[in-house]
Structure formats: structure tokens, C-alpha cells
Chain A
Amino acid sequence: MASAALPALSPALLEQPAVRVLSEALGENLLGATDFRGEVAITVDRKAWLKAVSLLKDHPELDYKLFLDLCGVDFLDREEEPERFVVVLHLYSVSKKRHVRLRTPVPEADPKLPTITPLFKGANWFEREAWDMYGIVFEGHPNLIRLLTHDAFVGHPLRKDYPQGQRHVLKEPRKWLLDVPHESEHLVINLGPSHPAMHGCFRVQALLDGEIVRDAEAEIGYMHRNFEKMVEARTYWQVIPYTDRLNYCSSFMNGHGWALAVEKLLGVPAPPRAEAVRVILSEFSRIMDHFVCISTNVVDLGAITPFFVVFRGREKIYELLESCCGARLTVSYVRIGGLAQDVPEDFVARCRETLDFVMDAAKQMDELLTRNVIFTRRFRDIGVMSKEDALSYGWAGPALRGSGVETDVRRDAPYSGYDQYDFDVPVGTTGDCYDRYLVRMEEIRQSARIIRQALDKLPAGPVIVDDRKVALPPKSEVYGNIESLMNHFKLVYDGILPPAGEVYGATEGANGELGYYVVSDGSKHPWRVKVRPPCYNNYQAYPQLLKGGQIADAIAIIGGLNVIAGELDR
């Protein structure tokens, strides 16, 4: 962990372009830099915050253009940190395929920091969230009001001295999101929070001039169920069920990402068989997620047949998951260091059968939609997102690739052995709804390709690491000998004890880059976990996509962004 007075940076660190450029430009305002588990983290003084961020973004050698995440961390009275709060920014460079973490300490007495919204549009909600959760004031922010919690809320809940269960009752919802002039003749409508086409609880308020949307503003937080506060009181494996409920259309992938992040922190990789099974089930989950996204999107536009076709396929995938772990939706199948148990004996045959069925459904959907005139007219040139804006908003996954940015965590920073598989990364050209749809359809085919390859060379062997500090011993041994019983007891009682440090574990979720930023203080509970939820960034741009368009297109656009409330609000 970076300390305040780092005398000199080691030569190895200075070889990192980001560290070199920043240390040359900032001088003593660069407080420190670390390289932990292959991740570069740079700490700067808050005086140099803006300068550092703009350097990272615009310096030709660095080119960190993709905004990933911004969050606060409360270190309370931990001695190794100079100040109570730290604001952490994660950026990614698509051209250099590099990732960086920029931190700056913020004192409790004067928790202020200049806003970076002029540099990254996506920072808007993240800064609001940091204010909401920690009370860090971002000077110059256009709209620093509560985002996730409600208006009657008192205090900043993610501060360590805020009691976890302290509730406040809301009586009246927020009426106005927009500034509507008193004599305005425009019509104000609310889409959501409970709206059949919104697929979850989020809200948009739009100002209509006839059918044209003149202005729009979004509000979230209706599904804010405190994932990040809850997990601070849980051990590392107790977090797994909570991750299932982030993006509940592809639960397995969230647990996969969490396990990888913790394994990275521990430095304990899972065995090859576990990784291969994880890849297979993750890709099935991706297919399932894309199915739900596309089919419900077109249901809202009046085409219900694809829904029936692909939901049969989805039910098949559920059955596959159920045969592995006994649960359909909330699977909790991964463990830190592997999987809960081995897959059933006929797993490979089952997967092949399921895959054939599913791909048949995908083909039918393709035939029903891709060249359908009504569909293409509703989808083409709607909700166009430029490449620059997509990067600046920090879009992710199919939405980002639909806008023509060629990036995929599976290919650019392979995890779980994705480098052994052959697959393509589809990208769009115009960034409209139709492109996002095409990217999703192609990703379904690519996922099938990956699954077939993984099935062909599914390795034998254990599915969980044989490390008694990470994984529970097998039950037969627990009942059979005293050491295993003790190991079992100690692991359950003490929990997994990772080294102190911070990691950012990124995986390519169905919706895009799903990141877990984990801060550990060496104890059995994570000190801080921040999820970088892909659809949060996507949804943030939604009002912009609406403006100037028809109100009817709002429904076509929202479906293509695939906003999942559980992941959006955590």
C-alpha cells in the first residue's frame, strides 16, 4: 500500500510509463506508487488531482481514454493512510491495453476535491455516489445531490462509523428531476420507477414537445440494497451469494469475477479444470443474458415470438446449471479457489446437447429479427453513441463495442485461460441500437465457439485448490481425520486471510467489464469492495441518447442497454 512519504520510486516502477510521466510532471505532488499483483497504483496529492487525471487521459504515451470507475474509500483510523478518505479512480487505455489506478488522500476535516466531470462524462454519477456514500464534496460538480439513497436519508452510509442497519423512512418520493419552467407548455412524463418496459426499477423523467423528447433526466437507487456495506461485514466466501444477485440474468459470471478478484489478491490460482468449467458456464450465462436482453427488448416493441423461442433455450441453460449445483438462478457455484463441487458425470454430453438446442433457438431468433423490416426500421439510427462519448462515459461490453471500440477483457487481459481459445471480438460501426443488437448476436455465436473448444479439451483433475488456508477440505476427510477437522474449523472460524493490499479484478461480464475493486486490511472481512457495474455507465448516458429523439424510441434504446437493476444500484 502506498504510504505518504515514499522517498524514491524504484527503477522498476519508473519503467511504467504512467509513473514516469506523472513523476516528471508532478514532482513532489506524486506521493507514491506501487505495483501489487501486476497493477500500477499511483497516489497523488489532491492539489495535483486534475492535472494528473488530464495527463493520464491526454498524454499520447498513456492514452487512458476509457473511464472505468471512481469511488471513495474510508480508512477511518488505519495508520498506514495519511488521511481518512481516499478517492480512487480507475482508467483503461484501449490502445495500450493498460490499466491504471490513481488515488488521492482527502482529509476528513475538509473533504473536498475538484470534479473531473469536464474530463470524463461518466464521472458525474460516480462523484455523486462518492458524495452520497462518503460525503466527499466534488467542487464544481453540476448536480451534487443524493443518487443511490433517498432524500430523507441522513448521513453517509459507507462511512465506517455509520451503523450498517440504521434506516431512515422516506415518505415522499422526489417529484422533479428536471427543471421545468413554470409557464412551460411541454408535457412532463415519468417512465418508471414501475413501468412495464423498464425491466426493473429505475426512472426517467422526460420533457416532451409533441412526440419529441426535449430534455430528460434519469434517477436510480430504487434497487440500492447495500451490497458494498453488507460485504464489509462478511467473510470472503460469504460474499459469493451476494454477487449472484448483482446481475441476476447471468448470476454465474458475477461469482466468477469475484472469485478471480480474491484469487488475485491471494495469489492462488484455481486449478485448470475449475477454470475450464467456469469458462463454459460463464459463456452459457452470457448467451442467456443476451437472450433475455434481446427478446425482452423486442417484446416491448411488440414482437413476442422471439421471446418464446429463446426462453425455451434459457430454461435449458437453467437445467444445466441446476444439474451442476442444484440452483437455477442464484447459483453460488464458485468458491474462492475453484468450484463448490465437480460437475456431473455426463456434463460434456449435457453441455453439447444444451448448446445445440440453444444455438438452434439463436438461429431462429436471428431469422425472425435480423432482416425483419419492421425491426430494422425501429432499430437503425436510433440511440446513436459516438466512439468518443462511449469512452468518456465509460461504456462497457456490447454497447461499447457497438460504438466501434474494439476491446474485450477476455482477449486483452485473459483470465481463466481465455487465451487458449479462439474467438473474435465483434464491433459495430455506427453505434446505434441495431449495432448493439448485431454485436450481441455475434457474441452468442462466439460464445458457442468458445464452449465447443473448452468442451473438447476439458482437463481432468481437482476442481478446487488443495490449500487449507483458502478452500475447505473435502467432507470425507473432515469426518475422517483430525487435521482436516481442525483445518475446517479454523477456516470457518478465521475465514480466508488475504494479505493487506488492493486489487482490481476485471472480467468481461455479459454487460461488459465487471470489476471488483477489493481493499483488504489482512483481516477476514474485506475492508472495502467496490463493484464497477457495467450497466451503471451505460445507463448514465441514457438521457443523452433520448434527447432530440422520439419518445417511442426510448423503449427501443433502454432494452439495448440491458440495464439490470441489481447491478445498477447494487
Chain B
Amino acid sequence: MGVLDILKGKFVDPTYAGVHGGGDIITTTVDAVVKWGRKSSIWPMPFGTACCAIEFMALTGSHYDLARFGAEVLRFSPRQSDLMFVAGTIPDKLGPVLKTIYDQMPEPKWVISMGVCASSGGFYRSYHVMQGIDELIPVDVYVPGCPPSPEGLVAAVMKIQEKIQTSQQAGAPQGAHRVGANGEGMYDRRARRAEWAKDDAERRAAGLPPRGVLSDLKPEPEIDHGAHHG
């Protein structure tokens, strides 16, 4: 459907409740047309920081071709875009930068969190990595994967289009209550080693072997790897 069709009044959008049909004339609302236009011409801003950004390139390249969804106009300036792709790990040092860039985008805006790093910190559960960008900014679609496949991203863009059409927008950062939440492994190694040593000493005094040490078992006899016994 082209612009001319809309001007001629032929536009109908079945997903929008406010559209009425009657006789030869189809009426629509400005609202529906605006949304239709918006969803068909998304201007994404790639906030690529790490490995995911490399896969993001594949999405915009010729094979997967984001242009089919009208979203090929990548804008590196947040002020000209309405969809932010956060592609990659966001360390704490980058947090304020991410927030600033998000704030600079004009309303209405949507956010796709690409990859497990952006969504939850991924397998970097440590002292300098934000455990999900939704600590700071609202996220509309999370895409799993490390990195997600380009197909997954296409699906995410279609989800965003759906959201645009039905006027849904994430309101507040979903993980705001988790700001500064710790990653895994909150032990102090020195304290733990002291504890173990104490425990071991007690067990030794009681005549017991150390706890949970597999290599403390007697060495196995040499195994002949060639032999098979059913």
C-alpha cells in the first residue's frame, strides 16, 4: 500500500479498533496513519559496544537486509532516531553514557536489548558489568542469544512494529530495583580460605579426611583405554 492509496482513503488497518468501513468509502484516522507510517520507517540507532555489534552488522548487511522492514536508515545520532539497539555488554562505566544517549532520543522511542549481556549481564556476572540495561532504561524487547542470530533480531523488529501499532511502550526501567545489584561470587577469598583451613584442621584432629576433595582418593590403577567392556 502506498501513500497515494492512503490519500485516496483506501487505507484500512484491521488491527486498529478505530477504523470503520462503510460502502465504497473507507475511513481511517490520522492516528492510524501516523502509526502506520511510524512503524514502516523506523530509524534505529545502534548503540553497539561489543561482539553483538558485529552480528548487528550482519543484520543491516545485504543478506538479512533490515531494509525490508523499512528500518535501514541507521542513525548514529540519538536525536534523529526512535529505536535504540543496545548491542553488547554495558559495563558500569558506560552506564551514564547509555542513559544520556537514551535521554537524547526524542519521544516516542523504543529500545531493543540485543543479547544476553545487555539483557542481564550475560556470563559476565562480575564487578564492573551492569546486570541488565533495564537498571537504567526501559526495554521493550529483549533478544536472547550470545550473540542473537540475525533472524532473532528481525523478529524483534517485527515485535517493535506491533508495539508501535498498538501504542505500547515500556514505561519505566523494569530493573530499577536492581541498580548496583551484585554479580555472582560474593566471597572474600581470604576469609574463605581461612574458614576451610580451620575446618580441615578440625576434621584432621577428629581423624577424618578433608571434606569434599576428590583428588584425595587413592590414585586409580592405570586404565587400558583400548579395552571395551560392554
Contacts and interface: CB of A to CB of B under 8 A. Distances in A.
Interface in B172-230: 179-191, 193, 214-215, 220, 223, 225, 227-230
Given A169-B180, A330-B51, A466-B225, A149 B93 contact: yes
B41 interface: no
B180 A168 contact: yes
Interface in B69-105: 76, 88-89, 91-97, 101
B181 A76 contact: no
A499 to B, nearest CB: 14
Contacts, number: 175
A93 B112 CA distance: 49
B207 to A, nearest CB: 25
B185 A161 contact: no
A432 to B, nearest CB: 28
A312 B58 CA distance: 10
B94 to A, nearest CB: 5
A201 B49 contact: yes
B175 to A, nearest CB: 13
A169 B95 contact: yes
Contacts of A328: 55, 58
Interface string A99-110: 000000000000
B161 to A, nearest CB: 25
Contacts of A315: 58, 61, 63
Contact of B185 (A165, A221, A308): A165
B123 interface: yes
A493 B213 CA distance: 11
B167 interface: no
Specify the main secondary structure of chain A where it touches its partner. Answer: loop
Nearest to B197: A77
Contacts of B182: 163, 165-167
A172 B126 contact: no
Interface in A416-462: none
Interface in A147-179: 148-150, 153, 157, 160-173
A221 B93 CA distance: 7
B101 A168 contact: no
Contacts of A28: none
A370 interface: no
Interface stretch (A268-276, A353-361, A478-486): A478-486
B98 to A, nearest CB: 8
Interface in A50-71: none
B128 interface: yes
A162 B61 CA distance: 43
Nearest to B188: A161
Contact of A171 (B94, B96, B184, B214): B96
Nearest to B182: A165
B92 A329 contact: no
Contact of A226 (B50, B101, B127, B181): B127
B54 A249 contact: yes
A482 B220 CA distance: 13
A226 B128 contact: yes
Interface stretch (A192-200, A340-348, A378-386, A552-560): A192-200
Contacts of A229: 126-127
Contacts of A330: 51, 146-147
B225 A468 contact: yes
B62 interface: yes
B97 A173 contact: yes
A230 B91 CA distance: 14
Given A161-B190, A173-B97, A329-B51, A481 B228 contact: yes
B127 A167 contact: yes
Nearest to B229: A481
A398 to B, nearest CB: 20
Contact of A201 (B94, B190, B225): B94
Contact of A149 (B96, B128, B214, B225): B128
Nearest to A484: B225
Given A165-B126, A466-B225, A233 B92 contact: no
Given A167-B128, A167-B180, A230-B124, A77 B193 contact: yes
Given A222-B94, A226-B126, A481-B229, A194 B179 contact: no
B229 to A, nearest CB: 5
A375 interface: no
Interface in A292-318: 308, 311-312, 315
A225 B93 contact: no
B110 interface: no
Given A166-B127, A245-B50, A481-B229, A493 B189 contact: no
B39 to A, nearest CB: 25
A415 interface: no
Nearest to A233: B185
Interface in B36-65: 47, 49-51, 53-55, 57-58, 61-63
B125 interface: yes
B187 A226 contact: no
A106 to B, nearest CB: 17
Contacts of A473: 225
B145 to A, nearest CB: 10
Nearest to B63: A315
B74 to A, nearest CB: 9
Contact of A494 (B89, B125, B215): B215
Contact of B51 (A221, A245, A466, A569): A245
Given A222-B91, A222-B93, A162 B127 contact: yes
**Among B94, B126, B225, which residue has the most Cβ atoms of chain A within 10 A?**
B126
A160 B188 CA distance: 7
Interface of B: 47, 49-51, 53-55, 57-58, 61-63, 76, 88-89, 91-97, 101, 117, 123-129, 131, 146-147, 179-191, 193, 214-215, 220, 223, 225, 227-230
Given A222-B97, A466-B225, 4 more contacts: A163-B185, A165-B185, A229-B127, A330-B147
Interface of A: 76-77, 148-150, 153, 157, 160-173, 193-196, 200-201, 221-226, 229-230, 233, 241-242, 244-245, 248-249, 251, 308, 311-312, 315, 328-330, 466, 468, 473, 477, 480-484, 486-487, 490, 493-494, 497, 565-566, 569
17 contacts: A76-B190, A149-B127, A157-B128, A162-B127, A163-B186, A164-B126, A165-B126, A165-B182, A165-B186, A172-B96, A173-B96, A194-B97, A200-B49, A225-B129, A311-B57, A330-B147, A483-B223
